Amino acid sequence: MRHIISILMENEAGALSRVAGLFSARGYNIESLTVAPTEDPTLSRMTLVTRGTDDVIEQIKKQLNKLVDVVKLVDLVESRHIEREISLIKVRATGTVRDEILRLTEIFRGRIIDVTDTSYTLELTGNCGKIDAFLRAVPNDAIIEVVRSGVLGIARGERGLKL
């Protein structure tokens, strides 16, 4: 099953490599990983998407907690949560495809953020499924480049991952 693990960790040099090293050393897989400082500059927040059986996920959480730089973590999938991913997509937009892409972008509530005579660059935010669906809808040969941020997640309601 897919899990989204949200981690608060010390904003120290090497903290990211400790997490990445743990996953490669123990053979866990990482589907996506994002990290940035939080409103408290001494802390970073990492969102990590992984897959595994319940036993493996339990071990992943224990091993992450064991890292000295990790302050706190939560598995967002355990309760109601929201996940979002941002993507920047550059497409070849000429002839009839140009109108089609514009329509698709509206349907998916994306925004065109750069235009040339032959291309559009658009921004699309949503859960992974929505971005995947958009990419399937666009004619395959039209896509020039896709950049995805990896998943960000937050719990619903008042609860927050804080110190």
Partner 1 sequence: MELTGADILVRSLQDEGVEYVFGYPGGAALHIYDALYQQDKVKHILARHEQGAGHAADGYARSSGKPGVVLVTSGPGATNVVTPVATAYMDSIPLVVITAQVPSHLIGDDAFQEVDAVGITRPCVKHNFLVKDVRDLATTIKKAFHLATTGRPGPVVLDVPKDITAFKTKYVYPKSVSMRSYQPVTEGHPGQIRKAVQLLLNAKRPIIYSGGGVIASESSDKLIELVRTLGHPITSTLMGLGAYPAEDPLFIGMLGMHGTYEANLAMHECDVMLCVGARFDDRVTGDTKKFSPHAKIIHIDVDPSSISKTIACDVPIVGSASTVLDIMNDQLKESGKKPDAESLGKWWSQINGWRKVDCLNYDRDSEIIKPQFVVEKLYEVSGGDAFVTSDVGQHQMFAAQYYKFNKPRRWINSGGLGTMGFGMPAAMGVQFAHPDETVACITGEGSIQMCIQELSTCKQYDLPLNIINLNNRYLGMVRQWQEFFYDRRYSHSYMDALPDFVGLAESYGHIGIKIEKPADVEGALKEALNDKSRLYFLDFITDQKENVFPMIPAGAGHHEMQLSPRNSGQDGEERELA
- Positions touching partner 1 (CB under 8 A) are 9-10, 13-14, 17-18, 21, 25, 55, 58-59, 62-63, 65-66, 68-71, 163
Shortest distance, position 55 Cβ to partner 1, whole Å:
7
Cβ-contact 160, 40 below 8 angstroms = no
Shortest distance, position 56 Cβ to partner 1, whole Å:
11
Amino acid identity at 32 = S
Residue 153 parent element (H or E): strand 152-155
Region for residue 109 given its phi and psi (left: phi exceeds 0; alpha: psi -120 to 50; beta: otherwise): left
Toward partner 1, which CB reaches closer, 14 or 41?
14
Toward partner 1, which CB reaches closer, 25 or 136?
25
> In 3D, which of 9, 1, 34, 30 has the Cα closest to residue 153?
34
Shortest distance, position 127 Cβ to partner 1, whole Å:
30
